[in-house]
Amino acid sequence: MSEASTDRVADRPAEVTDPLLWDLAAAVADAHQPDAERVCASPSCAGAAWPCAAWNNAQAGLSAARTPRQAAAPRPVAAGQPGAAQAGAAGEPGTGAARTGARSLAATAA
């Protein structure tokens, strides 16, 4: 680990919930500082006015790294889709209706 990354770990606030995101966003923000003329000093910005897009995105990353994680809500499954609660043949959920539907389509196409 470089000295700069070690300092970043020591400077990480206690409320950070995503340390990897924090470290990456902090590295980007450090690399995209303004020079004396308020131009981004990073060569990747090629003289863009500061604050540049990369610095703004780094700030969003720093903010997101402090946001508490929330459990993902279960997504609704539409009827007839894999994972829908339908009684199938031989106790396989959803397969009986899918097979019946496929046979029906094949019979009407013939």
Q: Which domain holds residue 55?
A: 8-66
Helical packing angle, 3-11 and 19-31, nearest 10°: 120
pTM to 2 decimal places? 0.56
Within-domain flag for 77 = no
CA distances from 74 to 65, 71, 77, 92 (A): 23, 9, 9, 22
> What residues have CB less than 8 Å from 37, skipping those under 6 apart?
none
Of 4-13, 39-48, 87-96, least confident by mean pLDDT is 87-96
* pLDDT at 84 (0 to 100): 56
Q: How would residue 100 be classed by pLDDT, with cut points 50, 70 and 90?
A: very low
Within-domain flag for 98 = no
**What is the arithmetic mean of pLDDT over 73-83?**
70
Provide the domain count of the chain: 1
Model pLDDT for residues 17-42, shown as the tens digit of each residue: 999 999 999 999 999 999 999 999 99
Neighbours of 52 (CB within 10 A): 21
Model pLDDT for residues 5-18, shown as the tens digit of each residue: 446 666 888 899 99
**What is the arithmetic mean of pLDDT over 36-62?**
95
